[in-house]
Homo-oligomer: A and B are copies of this chain.
Amino acid sequence: MTAQQTRAWKIGQLAAETGLTVRALHHYDHLGVLRPSARTSTGYRLYSESDVERLYRVMALRQLGLPLDAIGAVLDGQTSIGELLDAHREHLDRQLVAMRTLRAQLATVAAAGRTGDAASVTDFLELIRKVITVDDTIKQYFNDEQLAQLAERRATLGEAAIAEVEAAWPTLIARVQAAVDAGVDASSTQAQQLAAEWMGLLEQFHGGDEDLHGSLYRMYAENTERIEAQHGGPPPALIEFIKAATTARN
């Protein structure tokens, strides 16, 4: 017998396996972004493996901020799955950066609140701005330029790697901030660990890109401003803390 050569899903099964709703799949069918490649004789939708792959493409593009009807068009044109995976990841990186920035600000304001001084209007304006930035990053409607780029090749792998390490900064900063707030001693092992990670990140750049390495290294050397501007995070107190921890080790 020709056993199931290639799997097929009924709409409810696919919904259950993916977490989407049946209605959403109906909707995609209706708009033409994802038409199941087969139907049973009685009209039930049957999704094939390639339909599942296309569904991922739809989800990726949707998360990239494209309206569904535009997605239909993009998918009928042809883009390799590799390019899409990369674009998707890059977009996630941008979102992560925006969210970490907001998170750091949030931590700072909350920490300040706990140590007595209340948040000012400026703080709130800043927070609101960053919330909006996160929103915009998530929505990010594409202009034709960028849609064109999706077809072309983009993002040197180097860029991606650098972005990733760079994206790690806000997280680290937030943790150091937490340690400082908690009054952790610079000679403690916890402080040592943090200092190690900090230096680790700095070193990461040694092998990588020259330009960015330069700026980030200076960020450490010249202290404060750049880091504050670039990451919206806290600053000099942390660098002092790391310095103290580093010297305390010797």
Contacts and interface: CB of A to CB of B under 8 A. Distances in A.
Nearest to A181: B157
B92 A103 contact: yes
Contacts of A55: 124, 128
Contacts of A93: 103
Given A63-B131, A99-B95, A196-B200, A125 B52 contact: yes
Interface string A113-131: 1100001010011011101
Contacts of A247: none
Interface stretch (A16-24, A145-153, A227-235, A237-245): A16-24
B193 A200 contact: yes
Interface stretch (A38-46, A68-76, A82-90): A82-90
A124 B52 contact: yes
Contacts of A52: 121, 124-125, 128
Contacts of A189: 203, 206-207
A184 to B, nearest CB: 9
B128 A106 contact: no
A19 B164 contact: no
Interface residues of A, number: 67
B18 A129 contact: yes
A204 B190 contact: yes
Nearest to A165: B175
Given A100-B96, A132-B19, A81 B175 contact: no
B178 A164 contact: yes
Contacts of A33: none
Given A85-B106, A190-B207, A19 B119 contact: no
A18 B92 contact: no
